[in-house]
């Protein structure tokens, strides 16, 4: 597969990139981002891009791909709904439309989150916006589209969150992950599992378009 990856400098995206580079099913990875991923690999190509609502200048370079892994995301903490919607819904759909226009047979994988509201009616603002984003993606004429809804994600392989508070939490909880996995297997996963699951779904398909943590763990073969 030839893959496009958005969000490679984030915690989840870094994990997905690592798995793509290690997997023989992935022939090449095109990373689109504001900053370099800091990774060098024969499979890897990067495009530095700043306007994530307009891809006109780089759209021809997005052609010829089989899958898109969209791992960009922001926390809704302290953010109004209009801004959060622009940075979540608008930004995601702009990328999806740009990719689809030059890859009509592409599979699109989107990192959402557990608790996302498909009805778009609940009180939780972030859940409604994520639900609206998922629904819009599922209506688009991709070859296939899959919504990944992980719960707690433990970073592995030296990957770190760019948010210091989050990273401090991951550092503390890291040794407890095996316990959390046994106690709440449907709520916890890892960056490795998410990456492996995305690749497998893009290569083989899946029985349903929305994947919860249990689906991700099963596909990612978490020990």
pLDDT digits (tens, 9 = 90+) for 72-86: 999 888 899 999 999
Dist. CA 97–CA 190, nearest whole Å: 29
What pLDDT was estimated at residue 223? 45
What pLDDT was estimated at residue 114? 94
Q: What percent of the chain has pLDDT over 70?
A: 87
**Rounded average pLDDT over 120-147:** 97
Q: Which residue has the higher pLDDT, 184 or 159?
A: 159
Q: What percent of the chain has pLDDT over 90?
A: 78
Q: Is 178 a residue whose pLDDT tops 70?
A: no
Q: Is the dihedral of CA 116, 119, 124, 129 positive or negative?
A: positive
Q: Give the pTM.
A: 0.91
Comparing 21-35, 146-160, 170-184, the range with the smallest average pLDDT is 170-184
**Rounded average pLDDT over 196-215:** 97
Q: Which residues of 95-119 are buried (b: 16+ CB within 10 A; e: fewer)?
A: bbebbbeebeebbbbbbbeeebbbe
What pLDDT was estimated at residue 81? 95
Tell me the per-residue pLDDT of 8-23, one tens digit each, with 9 for 90 and over: 999 999 999 999 999 9
**Rounded average pLDDT over 148-170:** 71
Structural domain spans, the chain: 2-220
What pLDDT was estimated at residue 9? 94
Q: What is the dotted CATH code of the domain comprising 2-220? A: 3.40.50.720
Q: Which residue has the higher pLDDT, 175 or 98?
A: 98
- Whether the Cβ atoms of residue 133 and residue 110 lie closer than 8 Å to each other: yes
Q: Is 188 a residue whose pLDDT tops 90?
A: no
Q: Is 67 a residue whose pLDDT tops 60?
A: yes
């Amino acid at each position: 597969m030839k893959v496009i990856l958005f969000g490679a400098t984030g915690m989840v995206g870094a994990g997905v990139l690592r798995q793509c580079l290690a997997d023989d099913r992935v022939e090449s990875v095109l990373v689109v981002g504001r900053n370099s991923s800091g990774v060098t690999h024969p499979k890897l190509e990067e495009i530095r891009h700043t306007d994530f609502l307009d891809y006109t200048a780089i759209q021809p370079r997005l052609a010829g791909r089989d899958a898109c892994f969209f791992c960009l995301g922001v926390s809704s903490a302290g953010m109004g709904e209009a801004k959060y919607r622009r940075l979540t819904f608008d930004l995601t759909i702009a990328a999806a439309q740009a990719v689809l226009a030059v890859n009509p047979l592409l599979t699109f994988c989107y990192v959402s989150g557990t608790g996302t509201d498909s009805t778009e009616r609940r009180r939780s603002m972030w859940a409604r916006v994520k639900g609206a984003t998922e629904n819009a993606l599922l209506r688009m004429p991709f070859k296939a589209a899959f919504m990944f809804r992980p719960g707690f994600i433990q970073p592995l392989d030296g990957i770190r969150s760019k948010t210091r508070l989050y990273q401090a939490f991951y550092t503390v909880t890291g040794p407890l992950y095996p316990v959390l996995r046994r106690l709440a297997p449907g709520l916890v996963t890892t960056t490795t599992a998410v990456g492996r699951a995305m690749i497998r779904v893009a290569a083989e398909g899946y029985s349903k378009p929305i994947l919860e943590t249990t689906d991700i763990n099963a596909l990612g073969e978490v020990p």
